[in-house]
Structure 1
């Protein structure tokens, strides 16, 4: 039985705790022993993205201290996972602990497919679903194939969803376009961010999606707020919630 430490991002902890609980339930159903280290804090991504490396470094050190004893760390966020794997080198000196946590930290769907070896989940979810492929997971973790690459298309997240009975993945005009959130980008470039988000929502609505899902609560939150203001006929749910509900 794999022993898995949950790393829960700030958005999930503060605003969407149901996503963390769904992640734990799904992993337990797949035979994992799930633990939650209570000393964990933010991964430091907001500070690093804003250019405050000195403020991000203590949080990166804390992450290494908390999680270096675990062989598997699972996070329901592509962007936070990518922060650990791809950007801690610029904040911390090289060490065995740093290298270990980089190797052992996985996004949820990535862990299910690549580590547990699960390609298909037994479950049912009778809805039309649109998949939003967030930028960090797609382009920094390789959860899918970006359209700008001349390579066979594929998506680990879409593969898991497509195997669920009754779940229909809708076809989008632009399947991997950014939603416009981008953390501080949504604050400093609010107008552009909102226009990008509305474009993504319109693509999903036109395709007939009842529910939009993805690996990052931040992107889903951004689009959900825009959709509710315009009363667009679509809901937003993290992929962990859909997979946990489908396999219940």
Structure 2
């Protein structure tokens, strides 16, 4: 029997650092091609896929703010970093033969389409991979919050959060605490109460209020995006 997706429509959230690989900064072409290949294999299962990429591999608004920059300016720079990452991912996906559209919350018609909810849904229905860039277009909001908001807007079944340095949610940092315990399942209330910092509190509360499940898993293990899409139990699942 042919493999199929457990979900009709998903939002895949990737950190900017996931595109840097071991370099820690910038866009690693080998890594981004590997991620695009994983996305390609997952989409073949028939899932409608939207992607949101952070910009931390290029710029973090909070760091700029902490160093004395105007927070709004620093955050807008971070939004532009997500556009660069989105265009790089779009290019890799199109080289694999996938129609891909980048939709930005900040208008820049020469490089991407403006975000319009109905247009995004129509692209997904036509089988295109949609990449949401430039956050929600406002400072002070993270790409975690963008993922939560866009998932609600397009009525996604789940947010898949791919991490490049951990294979799920732990009670503490497993790199520094040998007693850290991995969770298979959590509720949003437990995640907030224990301050596990999987995603920021705004995004977590939004997902909880709108009953959007979240699956946290390792992006570096080959085939994990496909496994997550097909419904395999990997990483940590967080629900209302």
Bigger relative CO (Cα 8 Å, ≥ 6 apart): 2
Larger % of helix: which? 1
Larger % of strand: which? 2
